[in-house]
Amino acid sequence: MYMGRFDIIQKNIKEYIKLADKIYPKYRINAYGNGIGKVLLELSKVKVEGVIKDISQVAHKNSILLLLSNYEGFGNVLVEAYSVGMPVILYDSYPAAKSIVAPGAGKLIPYGDIQGVEKAIKEILKDEDTFKSYSNKAFEESEKYIKEDIVKKYIELIWDKI
């Protein structure tokens, strides 16, 4: 699945279209969001599902979060995916990606390696045990991003500097 703005440049919407052409009908890409690239997605094998408020609304219909952006800041959607036990596959197109994708919770793919993305999907979904392992690790990773713990760390860091 993809979740975010359908921005052609930053979010690299055409990459999802290329991937859908390669993996359909065995795997389907569901896209949640809106934006200028919506028309392109609707004309492709990507299934446009509309805007959602929370990933938990659709987690049961999806297995992996794809983030194939040209660039990102932090990528909050990755933490949202982890919070519902969803493994992630993303391009290493921005510095924060390396610190967010933990081994066993997802795959970090060299930018533009669409075959690498396809291979990663097949690896994560090859059998139920493998998927459960990735899912459990993703959920475990989400615990690093609990709001109260992060605020506490910021306060400690600031307090130490004063």
Each residue of 113-139: pLDDT tens digit?
Answer: 999 999 999 999 999 999 999 999 999
Nearest to 109 by CA among 17, 15, 5, 1: 15
pTM, to two decimals: 0.90
CATH numbers and ranges of domains, the chain: 2-161 (3.40.50.2000)
Ordered mean pLDDT values, 10 residues apiece, the chain (162 residues): 96 97 97 97 97 96 97 88 97 88 95 98 98 97 81 77 68
Which string of DSSP letters, residue by residue, matches the chain?
-EEEE--TTTS-HHHHHHHHHHHTTTS--EEEEESTTHHHHHTSSSEEEE--S-GGGTGGG-S-EEE--S--SS-HHHHHHHHTT--EEEES-STHHHHH--BTTEEEE-TT-HHHHHHHHHHHTSSHHHHHHHHHHHHHHHGGG-HHHHHHHHHHHHHHH-
Q: How many C-beta neighbours within 10 Å does residue 89 have?
A: 23
